[in-house]
A = this chain, B = another copy of it.
Amino acid sequence: MNAELSKNFGKIIIEFRKEKKISQEELGFRSNLHRTYIGMIERGEKNITLENIDKLSKGLDVSMKLIFEKLNKLIIIWKNIFLKNL
């Protein structure tokens, strides 16, 4: 599993959730996913599927496009940090 990718994805989800000021449990309700599963995703412990990305985006009331826009930006930032340390 690509842990780095999942972790970055988790960070994005946390960011959006905090923005909406809701708990993992509340996000679970809204996206029809279990409370602990949300936690796992946020900690980057699971390689989420397309269907659940869609559910999360609906629960967070943001488009998948926006999620991946942020994710791509985050990945680029990480890449640059990595390259600087070569």
> CB within 8 Å of B: which residues of A?
1-2, 5-6, 9, 47-51, 53-54, 63-65, 67-69, 71-72
Contacts and interface: CB of A to CB of B under 8 A. Distances in A.
Given A47-B49, A47-B51, A64-B72, 9 more contacts: A5-B50, A5-B51, A5-B54, A6-B50, A48-B49, A48-B50, A50-B53, A65-B72, A67-B68
The oligomer's copy count stands at 2
Q: What is the interface of chain A mostly: helix, strand, loop, or mixed?
A: helix
Nearest to A6: B50
A10 to B, nearest CB: 10
A61 to B, nearest CB: 14
A69 B72 CA distance: 12
